[in-house]
């Protein structure tokens, strides 16, 4: 059974250290796992994630053995660095880490519009539009800040799913460094310019899929979601999203309106660009785009491969059931759309 897994090497290709050293964002881990955490992060991982350095590789092997035994047909990476992402995201609970890994692959199968031929060059138009970036400096807790600007997108520009593709590629890049796996990330969403056309476009079924991937299908810890410059219709937008959020995640949403002082209480000015009252220079939309586009080869290796779930039998309770919105979802959306028009 092991040969079936090991015949497909989905690890990221080796990175030239001279290139990685010149980048503001940490490079991917080496092919052979070596812990890159500082003593402070080792202590943080022990306290928050139940990660014991002396047992780390034993825990990875235990998860690897579970995959080989319970899902022998699953074509997935089995290297230490990759499996550690899932263990850390589920606080080293083997069963929950395995479920997360299955959800991770199930999401790809259930949403081919997002995951087919997924590589940075296919979302260059999203990056060029300025829909998203990652701020160059992490916050004082070591968390990188993913900045989303949905108002930059208009429905007649391209399908909304292209935004999801760009977000997913960004998350894949963000989760590579071990410090992100321990610290998590922060999201800053600027709703300037969001109108009726953007607010009503995704719909509840698409919103449910996005939320399901972020909560239950990707090994990253989203520690806070800061919403700024939200219009009145955001209440309707959030009403679409909230039913799908777990209570803990819903509590991490902070709405600031146009109050920059409120934002600065959550994200210090020292890491924010001038556009948000910060002191870190002007918002640079190009650096992250270049970093993603320069990573084309590793994403081809990672995503442009045969279906990892081919021949795998998944439980009925798996994530992402069905390909069409339920009648209840449609009824809910009709009501919310009316609410959006009223707010607008």
Note the pLDDT tens digit of each residue in 267-325: 999 999 999 999 999 999 999 999 999 999 989 887 766 555 555 555 544 444 434 44
Beta carbons of 174 and 138 less than 8 angstroms apart: no
- Per-residue pLDDT tens over the stretch 315-335: 544 444 434 444 444 444 445
CATH class for the region spanning 39-113: mainly alpha
Cα 147 vs. chain centroid, distance in angstroms?
A: 12
Average pLDDT for residues 50-61, to the nearest whole number? 97
Per-residue CA distances from 36 to 41, 48, 92, 121, 213 (Å): 9, 18, 18, 30, 27
* Structure tokens given for 56: 């780390």
The DSSP string of 272-294 is: S-GGGT-SS-S--SHHHHHHHHT
Query: How far apart, in whole angstroms, are the C-alpha atoms of residue 33 and residue 210?
Result: 31
Return the number of other C-beta atoms located less than 10 Å from residue 195's C-beta: 12
DSSP one-letter code for 103? H
Whether pLDDT at 67 is above 90: yes
pTM score of the predicted model: 0.83
Name the least confident of 22-31, 54-63, 108-117: 22-31
Rg (CA), the chain: 20
Q: Find tokens 């650096």 and name the residue.
A: 287
Span 55-78, mean pLDDT? Answer: 95
Tokens of 289: 């785009």
The residues, any chain, with a CB within 8 Å of residue 205's CB and separated by 6 or more, are 324, 325, 326, 329
The span from the CA of 296 to the CA of 19, in Å, is 15
User: Left, alpha or beta for 289 (phi > 0: left; psi -120 to 50: alpha)?
Assistant: alpha
Could you tell me the two tokens for 218? Answer: 């990707």
Angle, CA of 156, 110 and 216, to the nearest 5°: 100
As a whole number of Å, the end-to-end CA separation of the chain is 58
What's residue 88's pLDDT? 98
- For 32, the 3-state DSSP assignment is coil
Is the pLDDT at 79 greater than 90? The verdict is: yes
Residue 222 pLDDT grade (very low, low, confident, very high; cuts 50, 70, 90): very high
Q: Domain coordinates of the chain in residue numbers? A: 39-113, 116-300
Confidence of residue 240 (pLDDT cuts 50, 70, 90): confident
Strand partners, 197: none
Between the CA of residue 285 and those of 19, 102, 149, 291, what are the distances in Å? 20, 34, 11, 11
Contact 125, 166 (CB under 8 A): no
- Banded pLDDT at 20 (limits 50, 70, 90): very low
Q: What pairing do the DSSP bridges indicate for beta strands 144-148 and 132-134?
A: antiparallel
**Residue whose tokens read 């028009």:** 341
Name the class of domain 116-300.
alpha beta
């Amino acid at each position: 059974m092991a040969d079936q897994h090991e015949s497909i090497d989905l690890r990221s290709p080796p990175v030239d250290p001279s290139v990685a050293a010149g980048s503001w964002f940490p490079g991917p881990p080496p092919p052979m796992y070596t812990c890159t955490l500082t003593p402070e992060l080792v202590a943080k991982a022990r306290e928050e994630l139940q990660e014991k350095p002396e047992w780390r590789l034993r825990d990875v092997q235990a998860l690897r053995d579970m995959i080989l035994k319970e899902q022998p047909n699953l074509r997935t990476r089995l290297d230490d660095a990759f499996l550690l992402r899932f263990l850390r995201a589920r606080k080293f609970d083997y069963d929950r880490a395995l479920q997360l890994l299955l959800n991770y692959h199930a999401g790809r199968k259930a949403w081919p519009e997002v995951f087919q031929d997924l590589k940075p060059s296919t979302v260059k138009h999203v990056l060029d539009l300025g829909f998203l970036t990652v701020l160059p400096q992490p916050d004082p807790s070591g968390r990188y800040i993913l900045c989303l600007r949905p108002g930059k997108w208009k429905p007649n520009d391209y399908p909304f799913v292209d935004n999801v593709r760009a977000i997913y590629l960004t998350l894949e890049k963000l989760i590579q460094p071990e410090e992100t796996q321990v610290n998590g990330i922060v999201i800053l969403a600027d709703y300037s310019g969001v109108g009726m056309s953007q607010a009503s476009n995704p719909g509840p079924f698409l919103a449910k899929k996005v939320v399901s991937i972020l909560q239950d299908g990707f090994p990253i810890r989203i520690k806070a979601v800061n919403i700024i410059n939200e219009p009145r219709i955001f209440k309707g937008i959030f009403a679409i999203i909230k039913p799908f959020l777990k209570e803990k995640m819903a509590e991490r949403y902070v709405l600031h309106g146009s109050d920059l002082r409120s934002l600065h209480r959550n994200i210090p000015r020292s890491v924010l660009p001038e556009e948000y009252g910060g002191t870190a220079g002007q918002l640079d939309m190009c650096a992250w785009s270049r970093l993603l586009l320069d990573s084309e080869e590793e994403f081809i290796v990672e995503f442009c491969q045969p279906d990892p779930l081919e021949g795998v039998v998944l439980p009925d309770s798996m994530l992402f059931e069905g390909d069409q919105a339920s009648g209840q979802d449609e009824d809910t959306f009709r009501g919310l759309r009316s609410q959006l028009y009223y707010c607008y």
